[in-house]
A and B are shown apart, each in its own frame.
Chain A
Amino acid sequence: MDMYNGGPEVSIRALKKDSMKFVLSNTDLSVANALRRIMIAEVPTMAIDMVEIETNSTVLTDEFIAHRLGMIPLSSFDVDRIQYTRDCTCTLYCPNCSVELTLHVKVNVDYDDMNDPTIDKTRQVTSLDLVTSDESVKPVSDDRAHPILIVKMRPGQELKLKCVAKKGVAKEHAKWSPVYGVSFEYDPYNKLRHSHYWIEEDEKLEWGVSANAVEEAPIDPNEPFDYNAKPDRYYMEVETSGCMKPEDVALRAMTIMQDKLGGLQIKLDDEFKEDTQRWGY
């Protein structure tokens, strides 16, 4: 019946720790785009959502620090174990629906070094200073040399706070997005004329072709325009924040897609039964 017989095909071009490239083919643009949209906005992860500040004598305001904490990616490979707080039976939050992280840094004044300008007295408070209550949910930093900076402190200042990390999706706030970037391209030679390039003088000179063009046959200038052609190869690249493996993001996205469609089918069946007499469907 349709041109995408045989179902979608997948080919993985590169698989790294926090990024992957794959080609999705023999499926409709809408399906590929749905996968992209779900990976960005609907795959649940963990992120700091509530911060209780006890002491803050740093130069940054409480809300500034709370916002910075929210942005820190937390490892979320075990997120299925944790419930959404709104679905939980507890009143505010509990270990079933949240993870607590604490931070306490106090920079003591060293009177011997005080007047020595050669000593750097700045204390960098980073994601490494966060102490988690659950080892599976902790700030992402395999590279301990480059942790995430939260605030810089000078002697005499103190920061003490408690964070509550919750499960969520990026539809609510982008901090829950498992991906930093999802690149998505089809038809690199623009055979379908879906793109209209803004040019000064020469399109080929000013735009060139993308790296994905190696996967497709180059354009034949004598070939007439095929107005029935539809896109069927999608070049995708997923770069994660490190909270999950890229392949898991894609797989979870596909599961969410199935749940979405399945859920609607069940609802349609219910309507169908209810309305049989009423509408004659």
Chain B
Amino acid sequence: MNAPDRFELFVLPDGVKKLTITPDTKIPNAATFKVEKEDHTLANMLRMQLLEDPKVLFAGYKMPHPLDHYFILKVQTTPDTTPAHVLGNALTELIQNVGSMKNKFEMELIRAKSEAQKIDNGEGEDLSSHQVDMDF
């Protein structure tokens, strides 16, 4: 009856910002990022990637409440850079990684499918007598 709508989990309402940056008032080179409608999937990936960066002194995230669908990411960096900058780098790196993962997967798929084709045709058989129709 008073249950919240299930789409609140992933639909960004009008007028709500996906990302808000709040610089820390007490710690130098530190900021809190609030990301709306995202969960551990993205947050943990970002945190681990940020920790790979030697300029990052601290990176941690939390989802403050299970009924609130956002996470906060706290980042502190060395003085020669900024939290926003290192987050940008982490994102670039991750996008590259996922892109190359996808490429590798597609290459492997072609290999796996052609191998499956060979098995289907039966080993030692004349392959030229078979029509090869692949849908990729």
Contact = CB atoms under 8 A, between A and B. Distances in A.
Interface of A: 1-2, 4, 7-12, 15, 22, 24, 27-31, 33-35, 37-38, 42, 86, 169, 171-173, 247, 250-251, 254-255, 257-258, 260-265, 267-269, 271-272, 275, 279, 281
Q: What is the predominant secondary structure among interface residues of chain A facing chain B?
A: helix
Contacts, number: 133
B41 A251 contact: no
A38 B41 contact: yes
B109 A9 contact: no
A33 B39 CA distance: 12
B48 to A, nearest CB: 4
The 7 closest A-B CB pairs, nearest first, are A7-B100, A8-B101, A30-B48, A2-B52, A12-B112, A267-B19, A10-B104
Given A12-B112, A262-B95, A271-B21, 14 more contacts: A1-B54, A10-B104, A12-B109, A15-B116, A28-B48, A31-B48, A33-B44, A38-B41, A42-B41, A86-B11, A261-B94, A263-B18, A267-B18, A271-B20
Interface string B84-125: 110110011011111111101111110111001000000000
Contacts of A260: 38, 41-42
Contact of A31 (B45, B87, B111): B45
Contact of B105 (A33, A254, A258, A272): A254
B62 interface: no
B9 A30 contact: no
Which label, helix, strand, loop or mixed, suits the secondary structure of the B interface? helix
A1 B89 CA distance: 13
A257 B53 CA distance: 21
Interface of B: 6-7, 9-11, 17-21, 23, 35, 38, 40-42, 44-45, 47-49, 52-54, 82, 84-85, 87-88, 91-92, 94-102, 104-109, 111-113, 116
A7 B98 CA distance: 8
Contacts of B116: 15
A260 B105 CA distance: 19
Contacts of A24: 101
A86 B14 CA distance: 13
- Tell me which of A34, A37, A279 has the highest count of chain B C-beta atoms within 10 A of its own C-beta: A34
A261 B84 contact: no
Nearest to B5: A172
A1 B50 CA distance: 12
